Amino acid sequence: MDFLQETGILTRQSGVSTGTKWQAGEGADIASHSPVDGKLIATVTGASAAEYEYLVKTAEAAFRKWREVPAPRRGEIVRQIGDALREKKQALGRLVSYEMGKSLQEGLGEVQEMIDICEFAVGLSRQLYGLTMHSERPQHRMYEQWHPLGIVGIISAFNFPVAVWSWNAALAWVCGDVCIWKPSEKTPLSAVACQRIVAEVFERNDVPEGVSCLLSGGREAGMWMSADGRVPLVSATGSSRMGQSVAATVAGRFGRSLLELGGNNAVIISKDADLDMALIGTVFGAAGTAGQRCTTTRRLIVHKDVYERFREKLVKAYGQLRIGNPLDEQYHVGPLIDKAAVETYLQAITACREQGGRFIVEGGVLEGAGFESGCYVKPCIAEVRPDFPIVQTETFAPILYIMPFSTIDEAIEIQNNVPQGLSSAIMTLNLREAEQFLSCAGSDCGIANVNIGTSGAEIGGAFGGEKETGGGRESGSDAWKAYMRRQTSTINYGKKLPLAQGIKFDI
């Protein structure tokens, strides 16, 4: 496996680093097994509490220097990271695919997203704009400016082992912040590979140790950052349960959190939909990445007039899905991340049946040659009612729930009536329906699409969702503002000192 050598992965290595320097990794070992074939890829040593302390101290010292580097210069260095990623795209994409189990196309796509966000960040480094306002007082000028925040703690999930980190880190760096990354313990090697790529670029540019820190470990390491007053922003991607814990801890110390949590995404299929287009969007959205995207399509709300017809098409399409090694491009669907995820999938199927669901495409675990890891499962579809508890829950697996509707009002009501609020879509050629779906009385999600599915997003837009999805926004648009602190300044260039609101205070 050349990609392991090319990304510098050793059989055993430290996962604790301030840049070019690697600590011993005195915490627990993290073994990374590939869900593709079940083999142990390599072991990473996690951080001890003392090593965490060292990372924070080094990051604090680095911040004092990094914040003084002009933003466009920081942008130029991030541009070089983009170039370095381009050079390593094939190897890193393969590593992501092998460690996480997503298709090679998606592994490469993830690295491409990293390159894209670096490019976005370069432009942004010259556009960290503040506003100027007209003061109510004569001979006064008022304006706002954006300053770097400090240490940004990044906690990431297994399903996007590298892209989500880069969305945060590339913006944080051009904003003048330094980062400590706590990657998922299920994908520690992809993080080690990224840290090496960045460290090389930083070293070439005399960037101090501590601007990019890697903190490998389990949830405890994430909890250290959440509780640490020296980390002004914790950006956490993962389950809503994790987000609830992080949010409470960070709020308890008046820190900021940026939360990107679970989704329960629906596609509404109107009677005026182009059903062929709807089919492609739905099948990719529901079965792609083995249902392990935060934006995976989990619910299909289909108009009663086209319900039978669409259901038939769907069942036929599912019959054509090829499940197998994600590094082999002939397969559509790879494995789940681990056996615990398989167990959760099976429990959800049982719960769905118990609650009255009827499977029109059966699930199950695949066995035999090629499926030795025990992580390959069949994408399945169940007919349900929208209020089943299991339908209200995000199960991170390829289980699609399908239900009929009669009016567009009812469809929007069903779509919104779940605790999560990440991604949503309507398939329709009817302008009125599309606009109603996008209106303030329409979808309540952070992402609302028309005639494309729920999954897959471009870095140019702000990404995130409402309700139990956490409310955070990352990536494009003005998401950068979360990584900076706003300061409003009023300057008096006159010879008098008038008070605001005309208050008199004569002495």
Give the pairing type, strands 12-14 and 40-45. Answer: parallel
Q: Which of 75, 210, 262, 442 binds ligand NAD (CB under 6 A)?
A: 262
Active site residue 144: no
Q: Which of 239, 344, 355, 416 binds ligand NAD (CB under 6 A)?
A: 239
Touching ligand NAD, residues 2-21 (CB under 6 A): none
The pairs formed by 376-380 with CB atoms below 8 angstroms and a separation of 24 or more are: 376/323, 376/324, 376/334, 376/335, 376/336, 377/290, 377/335, 377/336, 377/342, 377/345, 378/323, 379/286, 379/287, 379/290, 379/291, 379/318, 379/321, 379/323, 379/333, 380/318, 380/349
Q: Is 110 in the site for ligand NAD (CB under 6 A)?
A: no
Q: Is 339 in the site for ligand NAD (CB under 6 A)?
A: no
Q: Is 455 in the site for ligand NAD (CB under 6 A)?
A: no
Contact 405, 305 (CB under 8 A): no
x-or-dash pattern for ligand NAD, window 284-303, by CB under 6 A? Answer: ----------x---------
Q: Count the site residues for ligand NAD by CB under 6 A.
A: 30
Q: Which residue, 221 or 269, is less far from ligand NAD as judged by CB? A: 221
Q: For the chain, how big is the Rg over CA atoms in Å?
A: 24
Instruction: Give the helix/strand (H/E) hosting 281.
Output: helix 275-287
Residue nearest ligand NAD, Cβ-based: 222
Q: Which of 51, 113, 116, 185 binds ligand NAD (CB under 6 A)?
A: 185
- Write b or e for each residue in 417-431: b if 16 or more Cβ atoms lie within 10 A of its Cβ, otherwise e: ebebbbbbbbbbeee
Cα–Cα distance for residue pair 60/368, rounded to 1 Å: 52
x-or-dash pattern for ligand NAD, window 141-160, by CB under 6 A? Answer: --------------xxxxxx
Give the pairing type, strands 16-17 and 212-215. Answer: antiparallel
Contact 336, 342 (CB under 8 A): yes
Options 260, 394, 433, 474, the catalytic residue:
260
Q: Which residue, 128 or 155, is less far from ligand NAD as judged by CB? A: 155
Q: Which of 261, 361, 382, 411 binds ligand NAD (CB under 6 A)?
A: 261
Q: Which stretch binds ligand NAD (CB under 6 A): 231-239, 370-378, 401-409, 433-441?
A: 231-239
Q: How many residues does the chain have?
A: 507
What amino acid occupies position 364? G
Q: Is 194 in the site for ligand NAD (CB under 6 A)?
A: no
Q: Which of 28, 142, 223, 438 binds ligand NAD (CB under 6 A)?
A: 223
Percentage helix, strand, coil for the chain under 3-state DSSP, each rounded to 5: 40, 20, 40
What amino acid occupies position 361? V
Burial (0-12, 13-18, 19+ Cβ within 10 Å), 132:
exposed
User: Closest approach of Cβ 419 to ligand NAD, in Å?
Assistant: 12
User: Closest approach of Cβ 298 to ligand NAD, in Å?
Assistant: 10
Q: Which of 218, 324, 461, 498 binds ligand NAD (CB under 6 A)?
A: 218
User: Closest approach of Cβ 155 to ligand NAD, in Å?
Assistant: 5
What residues act catalytically? 260
In the complex, which residues of this chain contact ligand NAD (CB under 6 A)? 155-160, 164, 182, 184-185, 218-219, 222-223, 226, 237-239, 242, 245-246, 260-263, 294, 394, 396, 422, 469
